[in-house]
Amino acid sequence: MPQQVPRLLAVFAIAAAGLLLARGVLIPDTFGDLGHYRAAAVDSIAARPVKYAGRQVCGACHVDVEAQQVAGNHRGVSCEVCHAPAAWHASDPMSGKPAINRKRDLCVVCHAFNPSRPTGFPQIDSLVHNPRLPCIGCHTPHAPVPPETPRECGACHGGIARQKAVSPHANLECTTCHDAPQAHRDNPRAHRPTKPAERAFCGACHAGMAPEGPIPQIALESHGQPNLCWQCHYPHYPETSR
């Protein structure tokens, strides 16, 4: 055997032995127990401190508030959304009280008007809705209701009102097209407003008037049959053909 071979083999053997020794020393004990990872990591993550106690914990002591809340409009709102994480208080109630922000800037986080919020979510325009007054002056936070029935449709249907306001239909009242009983304002889902059910309704303005007048005219018998008008045109901001 040439002289080179045993010497090279010795070098590689030492390197391999070194690697094996290192593996025995350096690989953590729990590695591979549950998978290709250090199982002890799961334990250390599981042992992290909890900051939010959760509604059930609050309700265990604050029974009356919880009872008020589950019956009201904020039944889905967890205590700690407004009162900040309070696990520290739950584990030692005498050590202090969780903070609460009683100013307007808390409530508007959810309730300021934003067109991207889903339709039907109660929203106000903070600039005009009792400006500068604290919300809790009129609305009890644990079971909020509007202190009086809304006067304008736009109070709840803010998105529609704002779109209509910049559309050709801006000067039409909502009640021009929709019959909205007073009961709708008090119990919206139980008493729904109506929608026009015939083409002739829109035709009252959009057919049979002077063609050169301000209102666009169409031939009612043929235009867009057999659809109802609002099946193609969004009434609150109507599209027009090119």
* Span near another protein by CB under 8 A; candidates 2-10, 136-144, 185-193, 216-224: 2-10
Closest approach, Cβ 221 to another protein, in A, equals 29
- Number of residues lying near another protein (CB under 8 A): 66
The binding track of 106-145 with respect to another protein, each residue x by CB under 8 A or -, is ---xx-x-xxxxx--x------------------------
Query: Residue 78: how many CB atoms within 10 A of its CB?
Result: 15
Q: Of the two residues 73 and 217, which places its CB atom closer to another protein in the complex?
A: 73
Cα Rg of the chain (Å, integer): 34
Q: Does 22 bind another protein (CB under 8 A)?
A: yes
- Window 68-87: contact mask with another protein (x via CB under 8 A): ------x-xxx-xx--xx--
- Under the binding rule (CB under 8 A), the answer on residue 213 touching another protein is no
Find the largest Cα–Cα distance for the chain.
Answer: 113
Residue 178 · residue 161 · CB < 8 Å: no
| Minimum CB–partner distance for residue 185 and another protein (Å) | 22
> Do 34 and 42 touch, CB atoms closer than 8 A?
yes
Q: Which residues contact 73 (CB under 8 A, 6 or more apart)?
A: 122, 143, 144, 145
> Is 35 a residue that touches another protein (CB under 8 A)?
yes
Task: Determine the distance from the C-alpha atom of residue 101 to the mean position of all C-alpha atoms in its chain, rounded to a whole number.
Answer: 21
Which residue in the set 129, 162, 223, 233 belongs to the binding site for another protein (CB under 8 A)? 162
Residues 6+ apart with CB under 8 A from 229: 196, 199, 201, 202, 206, 235
What letter would DSSP give residue 127? Answer: T
Residues that bind another protein (CB under 8 A): 2-4, 7-8, 11-12, 15, 17, 19-29, 31-39, 41-52, 54-55, 74, 76-78, 80-81, 84-85, 109-110, 112, 114-118, 121, 162-163, 166-167, 237, 239
